[in-house]
Structure 1
């Protein structure tokens, strides 16, 4: 069951970076598909496989649009994607992962740095991107490996 979450935010209502917003922590403003958006990191931590090793998922290879990637993953049966969407959130894309790392480096959010975190961007039928939040490493790994996910929300700014 999908939770009801805030869908948009007025620019005048945005808090300072690192402050509460839409059930999480406001990370930053950014542009996605020609629209300014607010990135929000949730406190929830999910764990699981990205998806089936050897299965290329159409629509899950955007470097910037984590929500589109996560929806494609869920349609293909990814349990962590289904869980993220159930929270009214999505798995960060490569771009969104980099924005999270910048917020961590600025001391605005806390992210575990003892394990790699899945991102929603796939690289091939066999691998997807993951991120180390200790040093900011972006890497690839086999989709069938269990990793952490910190879901995010991306709200259009009006």
Structure 2
């Protein structure tokens, strides 16, 4: 895994939304597992399947913790999850996808609107959540289909 120097951020050092932070673009502040965090969108674009159709990935059902979901996906053999982790990042969860959608609507970030993007939150053994940033749709999509991923970082705020 690529080591990224910045593992946290001091609240006073946070830039305005839409400005550079930790190798990407600062999206917003949010709470995850009782800790305030900074969501950072990377410019990298990955493409691939979520995983194997019919395989239930037990650790990938969180609607909020994209990091935990992505690690579980990688352990189950997901190539896009491995690629995201190699960037010291993860695939956004359902919650993080909604935060990206809001930031896009407010003009802080740009996301492709011509393809569906995977989220790391699994819906079932056969599908996982995905988001269409063009219309703001979230739906469950067949795991074996290729979709885009825009990896994110989630940094604890001190």
Q: How does the TM-score come out when normalised to structure 1?
A: 0.99
Partner of 1:115: 115
Q: Distance in 2 between matches of 1:3 and 1:48?
A: 23
**Are 1:27 and 2:13 counterparts?**
no
8 Å CA contact 1:70–1:120 kept in 2: the answer is yes
1:42-65 superposed Cα distances (whole Å, 9 cap, x missing partner): 000000000000000011010000
Alignment RMSD (CA, Å): 0.6
The alpha-carbon deviation at position 3 of structure 1 amounts to: 3.2
Q: How does the TM-score come out when normalised to structure 2?
A: 0.99
Unpaired segments of 5 or more residues in structure 2?
none
1:116-136 superposed Cα distances (whole Å, 9 cap, x missing partner): 000000011000000000111
1:9-32 superposed Cα distances (whole Å, 9 cap, x missing partner): 000000000000000000000000
Partner of 2:14: 14
1:26-45 correspondence to structure 2 within 5 Å: 26-45=26-45
8 Å CA contact 1:5–1:88 kept in 2: the answer is no
SS at 2:60's partner residue?
Answer: coil
8 Å CA contact 1:8–1:155 kept in 2: the answer is yes
Partner of 2:67: 67
Q: Distance in 1 between matches of 2:124 and 2:57?
A: 9
Q: Distance in 2 between matches of 1:2 and 1:61?
A: 26
Partner of 1:52: 52
Q: Distance in 2 between matches of 1:135 and 1:66?
A: 22
Unpaired segments of 5 or more residues in structure 1?
none
